[in-house]
Amino acid sequence: MTIHREGFNSIAIGTLIFGAINMSVYYFFSASMMWLCNIIFVLTLALLLFLISFFRIPNRKLTINENAIIAPADGKVVVIEETTDEEYFKTKRLQVSIFMSPANVHVNRNPISGDVVYNQYHKGKYLVAWHPKSSTENERHSVVIRKNDKEILVKQIAGALAKRIVNYLQVGQKVSQAGEMGFIKFGSRVDLLLPVGTKVNVKLNQAVQGGVTVIADL
């Protein structure tokens, strides 16, 4: 396991706060209330470890399959339905949505290899990520990757807690399947908009792993 670069500053600040709190508590209370010092140490250590785990990159064997669409994020499948895309395609698409809890790995990965033909950031609201309108009204970042004659739209969506979306891609860039496309801090949602009729290989409420689970056939 390694730590993602997006977490370096947050972890450094968290470590400083952890040290400052515990040094202060031990200085003022160690002589009279050692039990309080121990409780605060355990609680703050647990919070620090949770912060570190949030930015973890587990060691995984990533799936590389040119005939498959791979999960762009860890989480749970919360939507599989046809929808009308008003942003890019202007037609009906098959939407597969993955909800990311704060406990999930938050690296986002390219579902396919290909060329980036669209990349757009949208300001918006911060509705809870499972809200039906979060896909179109929340802060979000949309990317379209084209491979041969097929295009896949990946939408990083901010939630009530996740208010920082990071996207590394640019229009004209060639990307590799399962490579990093971005990062969302503190839980959110990622939508895939696929061609109608695409064979989906996951079910509602199924847990998926980013870069590993095959979402659908390409």
- Catalytic amino acids? 188
The H-assigned helical ranges of the chain are 8-29, 34-54, 134-137
> Do 169 and 143 form a contact (C-beta atoms < 8 A)?
yes
Q: How many CB atoms lie within 10 A of CB 79?
A: 17
> Do 152 and 194 form a contact (C-beta atoms < 8 A)?
yes
> What is the C-alpha separation between 170 and 86, in angstroms, rounded?
21
Q: Which of 53, 98, 125, 112 is closest to 204 using CA atoms? A: 98
> What is the C-alpha separation between 201 and 162, in angstroms, rounded?
28
